[in-house]
Structure 1
């Protein structure tokens, strides 16, 4: 009997050519062939890299430990009606060595094996008990060959003897299926590259914005000089870095500087804001997902790890990662491999991890919210970023930079700060750090009038507003400052701090504390700039 007599082969072949997903193409093929009443089981194996070799039950027989046959699609029904064979995850033949038994021999030789009638005493074909129980009579295995490359094997078990016409038709289906697989893989690769380009474009847009906002790390304080030294040390290495600091201190910019000094600088640094990802989507965002793995997963999607392959992954607010996902993140760090949601394939990845947090991770470990082993994997090299109130000597330089940047971006005339306004900036506590300073400057530029500049510090209690007439003289010229002008600006800043503290240098109410520098450093700079304390005022 011609087992494919009821199959509309023409319709099947046209449908195979219309789909761009390997998974969909294989399912259409096996479901259509298995719909024939005399077919017991249809399966497709594809040759892929060996992913479970150490634990595979057939590893002792496998001649090639680098690749094997992966069961990708299955359809059919038991004669007892108790079960079907669609669930490939439950199959004991999920992986098959090339060259072993019927399927492996077909993959190795590239030649079909056709048995019109199977004897139950032929265990190399299938389990004899299964053959008897399911009344299996015929078997046909066809190699899937495209452009002289064996992609895998299509196998069919029947409950009626195979006829020559059926074998020829099966060969035709196998040929078209091989080309449909190749085309679908090409479309999936294009889709993958499109997703990667979209993520890299988002990264590049962020890079451009960052480059416009900060031209290197701005500041002359001891804390910033130490940060620069640390970046020069750790940047060229491949060590994982954990950056500590309050929100708004510029942790991401430091991560970019580290990335730009590494051998990975020609690859993207992909940023993940861990606090902004819904908990139920963490795994999908990090590792990607397969089509149909959950409601709304209409196509395969790459994750951040795959997008950052060869580059750097910046995990901002890493303390927000749920504890249940931390073990999977640890696996990537230890083994360099992961799995997409809804997919069995193990994928390799090579990324450098730079993470940042404003949390006390030691306390998180003690409370059971953060894994200690993950902590030590992330903190190979710690970097501590000082808050803005600890580097007040840098406030004038930062304010100057943000004023110029905001005026240029908003196409506004250059705004000028008075000395009292600069004194207020230095004296302010800056709970929002550099981000707050940038916002205040931008708001000041927006509201500035020709005859007055409004400086608003802290939109709440303790944050008074001040309207000051704009000075006539050019305090902040719209050009690169000369060394002399920088010294004058620094001198004005130090004098303002000294006047506010009644020329006191030492102690918690002294100018050194206000400027965020050591008293001996301040004294040295005062002498260098030619600033002398009044004799009538104490130094401490």
Structure 2
């Protein structure tokens, strides 16, 4: 062997920060030496393919084994067999099995300069091939670092290995163990840094998208029922399925459950399933390895790993593609998953809270949602009432949002009058609490420095002009209430007004949906119910 080349390998691997690069440099460098037939590097990892492993009958401990992670070589001339076939057919080696397993089990280096003995401890189907390839010697070295077995590297040579070469190889093994340990530490530091960066980015994202009603406000029976159910289920680890319309505060309830659980010291990670592109679901949930697909320039931590030890909140869970639901079911049942582009099985310990505004039973009947996943999520269903079922809480919520907007926007305005309270309570709030918050915030902006104006955001005439339509604190017998039909008429007029002001633009900045404080799909649904359609501009 070229000792100078071995010295170069020893020097080079210490500078590397990637475990895979370290191992590949060693096998490629050694395989380039004269007479070296096959070099293999194996890492100690958790048993992962035990059910269909070809050597499971000789495996004494399925919790760990040797994984082939790097291999190289060039058997002697005249050998037509593919030397990589050994690693392909035997990617896992149990402790105590074959030459490499014996080295791992004994935790000491092994040198065999005997043609027959070398081939006795390879898989039977490869023994004759090893003889034809000209194997004359074997050297195996455990990679030990502070007493921890990191792996094994083995060499099959077509010439005897001298004592001097053996000592060099042993020194290389010691350096390789240090290099692997250092690279592993660097990778862990990088992983933790990336996880911290992702967590910080997630928190910034949550701060921007947070609904703003950071505490539950109200005194009605519906809210009291919700709080009672939170107290019951929060201390357990049971999965919770939150059911209800959009904008009812399901995320706030999920946060309350997490904050009153035993996992409150760990993160609550939200995934808005409706906003994840179909092709990115698996990467978003489970992460991906560098190079797993075009654009995967580095490893990415998935949301499930980010939530390890804590709670994951799957908002709009009914939007998860059917083909991914089996993988989600697996991680919920077994706590196991794999990143895209990675063979390693990872484990997580999480609690799941899911939310949806869909009827999942109908989705099951339509073949869009798995029944077994539904039962897994639906251990503790919790119905969240719409705002129209919490009429008694609307005044408290409105005042809360007004005060919140005043502080955040640094603006002043008057408070709600009794007539305005009645207006808010008579409105049906299709956008629920989120819509109420948006209406109050816009009212504060429009009314800065003066009395609160709801007529400009709800399309209702100023209180002075509707004294005969809405009750005041001391109504007379001549004052009449608005009927439901009159309220619907007013709402239709207001929707048309917003559409005309926006030039019939529904989406985006300055669109009717923004003016009304509604989601575009909510506005479209409301227009359909009201029979409103855009006029044909081609008509004269």
TM-score, normalization by structure 2: 0.80
Q: Determine the C-alpha separation between the residues in 1 that align with 2:459 and 2:166.
A: 88
Q: Distance in 1 between matches of 2:143 and 2:302?
A: 31
Question: Match for 2:40 among 43, 55, 58?
Answer: 43
| Residue of structure 2 in register with 1:529 after alignment | none
Q: Are residues 354 and 85 of structure 1, via their aligned partners in 2, closer, same or farther at CA, if it must alter by over 3 Å?
A: same
Measure how far apart 1:54 and its partner are.
4.7
Instruction: Give the equivalent residue in structure 1 for 2:30.
Output: 33
Q: Give the 3 Å change call, closer, same or farther, for CA 155–121 of structure 1 in structure 2.
A: closer
Give 1:37 deviation, angstroms: 5.3
Count of matched residue positions in the alignment of Structure 1 and Structure 2: 476
Deviation at 1:30, TM superposition (A): 1.7
1:340-387: per-residue Cα shift (whole Å, max 9, x none)? 111222222111110001111112111211111111101111111111
Aligned to 1:395: 394
1:63 aligned onto 2:63: no
For 2:145 and 2:346, locate their aligned partners in 1 and report how far apart those are by CA, in whole Å: 25
List per-residue Cα deviations over 1:148-178 (Å, max 9, x = no partner): 3332111112233333343233223212211
The CA distance in 1 between the partners of 2:414 and 2:390, in whole Å, is 24
Task: Note the C-alpha offset of 1:329.
Answer: 0.7
In 2, Cα distance between equivalents of 1:467 and 1:72: 75
- Comparing 143-152 with 224-233, greater Cα deviation is found at 143-152
Structure 2 residue corresponding to 1:99, chosen from 86, 96, 99: 96
Three-state SS of the structure 2 residue aligned to 1:65 is: coil
Matched, 1:275 2:270: no
Query: Paired residue for 2:522?
Result: none
CA RMSD in angstroms comes to 3.2
Are 2:459 and 1:464 aligned? yes
Corresponding residue number in structure 1 for 2:519: none
Cα gap change, 1:194 to 1:445, in 2 (>3 Å)? same
- Offset of residue 58 of structure 1: 3.1
1:363–1:35: structure 2 CA closer, same or farther, 3 Å change rule?
farther
- Change in Cα spacing, 1:237 to 1:246, as seen in structure 2 (3 Å) is same
- Tell me how far apart the structure 1 counterparts of residues 204 and 475 of structure 2 sit (CA, whole Å): 41
Post-superposition Cα deviations, 1:369-408, rounded to whole Å, max 9, x if no partner, equal: 1111111101111111111122222111111000000100
- 1:113 equivalent in alignment to 2:113: no
Deviations 1:39-87 (A, max 9, x none): 3221111222333445444334333333222222222356656746299
Instruction: Please give the alpha-carbon distance, in whole angstroms, between the structure 2 residues aligned to 1:132 and 1:275.
Output: 60
SS in 1 for 2:152: strand
Could you tell me which runs of 5 or more consecutive residues in structure 1 were left unpaired when the two chains were aligned.
470-490, 512-540
Conserved 8 A contact 2:68-2:91 = yes
Q: How does 1:385-534 map to 2 (within 5 A)?
A: 385-455=384-454, 464=459, 466=461, 501=481
Deviation readout 1:100-119 (Å, 9 max, x if unpaired) = 23111211222212223422
Cα gap change, 1:278/1:77 in structure 2, threshold over 3 Å: closer, same or farther?
farther
Which residues in structure 2 correspond to 1:322-333 (within 5 Å)?
Answer: 322-333=321-332
Native 8 Å contact 2:44 2:64 kept in 1:
yes
1:175 matched residue in structure 2: 174
Could you say if the C-alpha distance between residues 280 and 159 of structure 1 is closer, same or farther in structure 2, counting changes exceeding 3 Å? farther
Q: Counterpart of 2:218?
A: 219
Partner SS state of residue 436, structure 1: helix
Q: Counterparts in 2 of 1:1-16, with a 5 A limit?
A: 2=1, 4=2, 8-16=5-13
Distance 1:441 1:493 in 2: 22
Mapped to 2, the partners of 1:40 and 1:217 lie a distance apart of 70
CA contact (8 A) 1:99 1:105 kept: yes
Most deviating of 302-311 and 250-259: 302-311
Q: Tell me the secondary structure at the aligned position of residue 407 of structure 1.
A: helix
1:456 Cα deviation after fit: 5.6
Q: Deviations over 1:121-166 (max 9, x none)?
A: 8421453122034332332211112223332111112233333343
Cα gap change, 1:19/1:280 in structure 2, threshold over 3 Å: closer, same or farther? farther
CA–CA separation in structure 1 for the residues paired with 2:120 and 2:31: 23
1:189-228 to 2 correspondences below 5 Å: 189-202=188-201, 213-228=212-227
1:21 is matched with: 18
CA offset digits 1:218-255 (Å, max 9, x no partner): 12232222211211111111110111111111110001
- Name the CA shift for 1:282/1:208 in 2 (closer, same or farther; >3 Å): closer
Question: Aligned in 2, Cα 1:493/1:400: closer, same or farther, shift over 3 Å?
Answer: farther
2:378 is the alignment partner of 1:383? no
- Structure 1's 495 and 104: CA in aligned 2 closer, same or farther, altered over 3 A? farther
1:283-362 pair list within 5 angstroms: 283-362=282-361
**What TM-score results when the alignment is normalised by the length of structure 1?**
0.80
SS at match of 2:376: helix
The answer to whether the Cα contact below 8 Å between 1:74 and 1:87 also exists between their aligned partners in 2 is: no
Q: Distance in 2 between matches of 1:165 and 1:68?
A: 31
Deviates more, 1:286-295 or 1:367-376: 286-295
Is contact 1:77-1:83 (8 Å) kept? no
1:308, distance to aligned residue in structure 2 (A): 0.9
CA contact (8 A) 2:335 2:349 kept: yes
Is the deviation greater in 440-449 or in 210-219?
210-219
Task: Measure the CA separation in 1 of the matches of 2:85 and 2:72.
Answer: 5
User: Which runs of 5 or more residues in structure 2 are unaligned?
Assistant: 465-470, 488-540
CA contact (8 A) 1:454 1:466 kept: no
Partner of 2:73: 76
SS across alignment from 2:436:
helix
Give, in whole Å, the separation in 2 of the partners of 1:302 and 1:87.
33
